[in-house]
Amino acid sequence: MSTVISSCNWVSVCHVDEVPIQGSRVVQHRSAPDIAVFKAVDGHVFALVDRCPHRGGPLSSGLIHGHSVTCPLHSWNIDLESGQALAPDEGCARKVPVKIEDDMVHLDLGGL
Ligand code: FES
């Protein structure tokens, strides 16, 4: 499922329950790459630009374990908090700031 948004800075994108546990939801923005919103098994919500730092694979289709996601293309592991690839791999997916208010997921799109 995806959400199309049309503004910048802090934007409400969906209800927190619309992001499945150990799953993701893709948010689309007119002038920015797709954003993957993830929810870990402990309920923490993270957001990264939906592009693996290796060869651009869709991180939103990856397997979430703990606070990291495994890219579906070549199995790099990406830290959901920082976007950094975990050793021995190197690279960084762009992190998007997230906050939860009134059970809604808000993304800061000002930097995109
Ligand atoms: S594109 Fe993600 S590991 Fe290669």
pLDDT in tens, 3-24: 655 445 899 999 999 999 999 9
User: How would residue 41 be classed by pLDDT, with cut points 50, 70 and 90?
Assistant: very high
Task: Give the distance (Å) from ligand 1 centre to CA of residue 102.
Answer: 35
**Full-model pTM:** 0.91
Q: Coil, helix or strand for 61?
A: helix
Would strands 77-79 and 68-70 be described as parallel, antiparallel, or unpaired? antiparallel
C-beta separation of 37 from 48 below 8 A: no
pLDDT at 79 exceeding the cut of 80: yes
With a 6 A CB cut-off, is 57 part of the ligand 1 pocket? yes
For CA atoms 71, 92, 36, 64, give the dihedral sign: positive
**Separation of CA 94 and ligand 1 centre (Å):** 14
- Write down all domains in the chain, each with its CATH number in brackets: 2-108 (2.102.10.10)
Cα 25 to Cα 14, 86, 89: the distances in Å are 9, 22, 25
